[in-house]
Chains A and B, each alone.
Chain A
Amino acid sequence: MISSKWTPYLFLLPAIVGLGIFSIYPAFQAFFSSLYSFSFVNQTNQFVGLQNYISEFTDPVFWNSVKVTLLFNVVINPLQIVLAFGLAILLNKRVKGIGFFRSIHFIPISVSLPIASVLFMIILNPDEGLVNSVLTSLGFHAQPFLHSSHQALWVIVGIATWKGVGYWAVFLLAGLQEVPSALYEAAALDGANKWTEFIKITFPLMKRSLTFVAVADTVANFLLFAPMYIMTDGGPNNSTDVLMYETIKNAYVNSNMGSADALIVMLIIIILIIIGVESKLLKPKH
């Protein structure tokens, strides 16, 4: 008999093998490749140590990408989580026809992001897009949207949030339904108002769901690049040039696999640090 000590690991084995092959091995592979640079002159892969990292650190485009990535995430993650939480609370109400409202909020999830990007490009076209037609008919000025370095990033935040909120709300809704209603009844008997109920019952019991959503949402948004790739090419003036887009550009436009790997390694490190902080902050106290 296999000792019972090993049984749990045996059950975990398929998942660990999968993770190892498809996540951990590629991450290490990326790190090793980031120490090499392909020389087109000699057609050889040369060991260059940390040179790929050093060239990134001395490149203003890299620092701009770091800035854009952080700015994007500092805004979009809290925004999506707060809106998703609010939406989940509303969808958790027992009113007539709630099934219909829950379905409606699932619609943006079923539209793929590239398709949504193309549709929004048409809607936001500065010349004859729907949004500008409405704005001008109401007497406002037409806006450049994706053609302005001051607006493009926020437009992408809006589109990604439109698509993301319903999705993350589903997880939070599942969490809300796990909260025992007896707790609310007891609190009501003690004279607690809605706000106190939220702070003392809902929020503490939702910490597990919130941690998952915060971590998964952060990872998704740090790795987001489809809207930038399809709608703005990182522009105007690099205002939407997130690290992930810069990585794709290094790999597939400039044929700099070494630099692309270095960028990916730095992105992984940044994400790990932020996830660590998030997990610490949202750790349940029980």
Chain B
Amino acid sequence: MKGKFFLMLVGIVSLVLIATGCESNGGSAHSGKVTLTILAEADSADSLKAVAKGYEEKHPNVTVKVQSYPFADLFKQQQVVLNAHDPSADILYIDGPTLPDFASKGWIEPLDNYIDDSVKKEWSKSMADEVTIQGKLYAAPMNSSSQVLFYNKEILKKNGIEPPENDVNKRWTWEKLVNNAKKVKGKSNGQKVWGFAFEQANRAYQLIPLAQSLGATKLVSDDGLKSSGYTNSKEMIKAGQFMNDLYNTWKITPKISADQTNDYFSSGKLAFIEGGSWDAVDFKKAGVNFGIAPVPYFSGGKPVTPTGSWTLGVSKYSKNKSESAKLIKYMSTGEGAKKWFDLEGNLPATTHLLEQIQKDPKYKKLPYSASSLAAYEDQHDSMLRPKTPGYITWESEVDKAFENIMDGTDPKKALDESVKQMDNELEKYKN
């Protein structure tokens, strides 16, 4: 009966081998039919599918699959797939400033062999810059982004506040905004009405322009490998103090998370909000009586707005690189870009669409006028986020510092601590 025992053992071992040894083959380029998989962010998944559909109609051999994850989990998910050298993901939806991170880790394929210079010229200069790292093209920009100041007309009227004008020459200062937001009193449906909030509360994207408005030019060293002295510069600390005051001294900003802020504005609990130009359509749908104005600046400083947004890159481990590159070229230029803009309402990445926005009379009226204000800001006052291979760590530490500042921590202490962690982590990118 010994034989039976061994037979069983062999059975178990082979079962285990089958269970652990399975590996998917990725696409099947040989048969002529190709399936391209995009790892994307959940909010944009439907629009990506819709634009990809246009491509599928023209290329019947191509099927596009979109796998979506919430914003906060997208990078982790992509990292797991890329670390495993998994060929099942072909295209990655990547936030612009994290591109150097992906590139330095060797996760994305340079696209210079697939996308030629004539295509690059279709993108606006700042977007072409964002996707170019050390002279190589690593992704295609899907859109740019900018911010505008929204205000609730009824709340302002009730509190006797003269609204700001939608005129870049009559831009408010932050000091003026704070003074007016302090006047906001009263309740709406039994709940307190607040003065002002940043849509992306405590996120680097919206908050570093505060420091840039105060004169900060660099947030990391030129090689992107040192943050101390840059991310905790006196301008950053001053910007941090401003945030601390909004929450804790003047108490005009509610301590809520980034996914709650727009609801506060939509439901009439917030007088002013700095938000993405794309929010205008949602606020209109929510029935808010609102107006827009350019983002304020610090008196004595200069106006600065954030920019940069989503891009599409090709995974190093994809078996369908050339097909993937063709798809992202379609999606980021011409017809694809137009459809994307119509669906998402974000600031486009192509110069052609940017010019169209500023000419088209449709964009003179709310809610679409937010896009034309954003287009102006993007071309005149925008500054990119820092370029560093450790961007993901950098951003997570800056976000954490601002989170702590909101909870009342001294800005210098919060930023000094974050800088220490960042510089530790940046060590590994040095030669």
Contacts and interface: CB of A to CB of B under 8 A. Distances in A.
B167 interface: no
A253 B424 CA distance: 14
A279 interface: no
Of the four ranges (under 10, 10 to 19, 20 to 34, 35 or more), the interface on chain A belongs to 35 or more
B130 interface: no
Contacts of B76: 252-253
A202 interface: no
Interface string A112-149: 00000000000001111000000000000000100111
B428 A37 contact: yes
Given A255-B79, A257-B83, A235 B392 contact: no
Nearest to B12: A17
B12 A41 contact: no
A126 B255 contact: yes
A256 B404 contact: no
Nearest to A147: B407
B12 A254 contact: no
Contacts of A254: 392-393, 425
Interface in B19-53: 20
Interface in A44-69: 55, 59, 61
B134 interface: no
Nearest to B430: A41
A234 B256 CA distance: 17
Interface string B371-405: 00000000000000000010011001000100110
A128 B9 CA distance: 61
A2 B407 contact: no
B407 A148 contact: yes
Contacts of B396: 249, 253
Interface residues of B, number: 38
Interface string B132-149: 000000000000000000
Nearest to A128: B191
Contact of A40 (B191, B406, B421, B429): B429
Contacts of A10: 5
A6, A125, A234 — most chain B CB neighbours (10 Å): A125
Nearest to B254: A127
Given A41-B430, A255-B105, A125 B400 contact: no
B403 A233 contact: yes
A40 B255 contact: no
Contacts of A43: 106
B427 to A, nearest CB: 9
A143 B400 CA distance: 21
Given A128-B191, A257-B83, A2 B400 contact: no
A13 to B, nearest CB: 7
Interface string B320-354: 00000000000000000000000000000000000
Contacts of B75: 252
Interface string A257-285: 10000000000000000000000000000
A149 B2 CA distance: 64
B429 A41 contact: yes
A135 B233 CA distance: 41
A236 B409 contact: yes
Contacts of B393: 253-254
B18 interface: no
B7 interface: no
B404 A40 contact: no
B118 interface: no
A278 B73 CA distance: 37
Contact of B5 (A2, A39, A55): A2
Contacts of A38: 428
A237 interface: yes
A127 B404 contact: no
A28 B366 CA distance: 61
A41 B103 CA distance: 11
A39, A55, A234, A254 — most chain B CB neighbours (10 Å): A254
A87 to B, nearest CB: 34
Interface string B203-226: 000000000000000000000000
22 contacts: A6-B5, A14-B12, A21-B20, A37-B428, A38-B428, A40-B106, A41-B429, A41-B431, A43-B106, A55-B424, A144-B407, A233-B403, A235-B407, A236-B407, A252-B76, A252-B80, A253-B393, A253-B396, A254-B392, A255-B79, A255-B392, A256-B428
User: Lowest 10 CB-CB distances: which A-B pairs, in order?
Assistant: A236-B407, A252-B76, A147-B407, A127-B254, A254-B393, A253-B396, A254-B425, A43-B106, A40-B104, A1-B1
Interface of A: 1-2, 6, 10, 13-14, 17, 21, 37-41, 43, 55, 59, 61, 125-128, 144, 147-149, 233-237, 249, 252-257
Given A1-B1, A2-B5, A237-B407, 9 more contacts: A17-B16, A40-B106, A41-B431, A127-B256, A144-B407, A147-B406, A147-B407, A252-B79, A255-B105
